[in-house]
Structure formats: C-alpha cells, structure tokens
Structure 1
Amino acid sequence: MSLSLEKIDLLMERANVSYKEAKETLEETDGDLLEALIRLEKAEKILEPEKSASEKNRATKEAIKSKSKSFFNDLKETRFKIKNKEKDVVDVSLLTASIATLVTMPVSIFVLATPYLFGHKIVVGKEPLETKKDSETEK
C-alpha cells in the first residue's frame, strides 16, 4: 500500500477533513481515494467547507436587506386611520404616518391627541382582504 502525500492532500481538500482522518481512511481503503470518499460520506464525516468572510458578509447583507424590505412592505400595507362615526377622516399608510410623526415630532404628539377631543378614533391595522376587494369594486 502506498500512501502519497498528494492523495492525503486531495482527500483532505475534497472531503474537508483533517490530515489524520484522511490518512486513516486511506490506510483502511488501501489507498483507494474513491473508496475513502465513500466511507467518509457514509460515516457523515465530510464537513461542509467553511464560507469565506466575504461570502458571510454578503449573506448577512442579503438577510438584512430582505428583512428591511419585508418590514417596510408591512408598514406600507398597514393603514393609519382617523375615523368619526360616518367616515374615515384620514387614511394613510403607517409608513407615511410614521415619517410625518418623525418630521413634526414636537407638534405630532399634540396632533395625535386632538382627534380624541372631537370624538374620533385612531385605528392602526391591516384591512381584511374582503374590505380591500369591496373598496376596489366601488371605485
């Protein structure tokens, strides 16, 4: 049986295992590289190659981008309404209401309290699908 350093290196690279595991497996298989790979695979010793730092950063950036996009889509779909008994006085997306609140911070606290003085209700939430469909067919 001839074990060459090249075979051990190749098995280490292909199976992503330690030098010791590669050498022992090749010894057990009498230097047969294919058989060694099959044994390591059956024993579930083949490790996933580690991701490089740039791949990890890219994956993290994509995850953050995806979650923030989902967050802002939810803000767009959620409605901020000020209602009185007959109709909606204000009906905007929660994103619009949030931006307006941030821009006019000192005044916005007073403005948000004012509807209650006039008997209005502030409602924040997503509309049921039936309500959206009904309002679209009325237009």
Structure 2
Amino acid sequence: MKVTLEQIDELRNRVNVTYEEAKSTLEKNDGDLIKSIIELEKGKGTRGNEKNRRGEGFTSFANRLLQLRFSVKNKNENTLINVPLVLVLVTFVMAFWVVIFGLILAVLTSCKIKVFRDKNSVNINGIKRNMKETVEKIKVKSEEIIKEDAEIKEEKYYESDDMENEIIIE
C-alpha cells in the first residue's frame, strides 16, 4: 500500500518521530494509523526505559563513589581525618602540594592511611529527597510571604483612599 504525506504528517503530529520512521511504520502496518501509533509508542517506551536505566547507572555510580572514604589514624587509633575520597581527589586537583605534604606528614608520623567503603554513607537518593523537601518548603513559605505582602499593600491602598476622600474644615 502506498502511504500519503498526509498520513505521515498525522502520525508525526501524534507521535514525535522522523518522517522515515513514520513512513516505514505506516508501510509495515498497511497504512493503519492506529496500529502505527501503538507500535511507535511501544518502541518509545523501551527507549525511555533505556534512558531511565542510564540514569540509574549514574546514580548507582555516584552512590558507590560517595561510599569511598579516606581515613587517617594516628598511632593511638584516634581518627585525625575521615572524609569522602572525592573530597581528597578534588583537593588533590586544586591544591596538589597540600595533599602531598599531608600524606608525607602522615607517613613520617606513622599514621595509618586507609581507603574503605562505608555502607552507611550519604547516597544520591537521600540528597535528592532532601533537596525536593527543602525546595517545597521554600515554595510554600515564599507563597505565604507574597500573599501577606499583597494583603498589606491592599490594606495600605484602602487606608490611603480614605485619607484622600476626607475634607477637613476648621
């Protein structure tokens, strides 16, 4: 069956695809618009899931990266430094000599340097959740402030109107 340009345009309007994808899907489904829409939406659903999996991959990578800790303990097993390894790496990039000096000092004073995975560390999902809650609180509070400000301005407007309409004769 021959597919018309109108059919392709209609399919492209309903499902965000290229002309080539729309034409081949319509030809495959003998010009049936509904079957073509369903097929393309199913295909998009799987692509969306792939993107979602990639996002989960980044989140799990970031979580694993945040679990790595850098610890320095002295001879008496007192913890001198216990920070995320990411912080040490960023400091290393920005202030190379400071990190090198600190490591040499730790080795000379017989400190134990340890890089380990902390299962109870901060994770990305917790950070996202905290940020969403904070943003929501800020939105609610700012709406309250704006509403109160509008009420105050309205009251002042009516008060000033009353003053302008008064005529005082002594």
For normalisation by structure 2, the TM-score amounts to: 0.39
Structure with the largest fraction of helix: 2
TM-score, normalised to structure 1, is 0.46
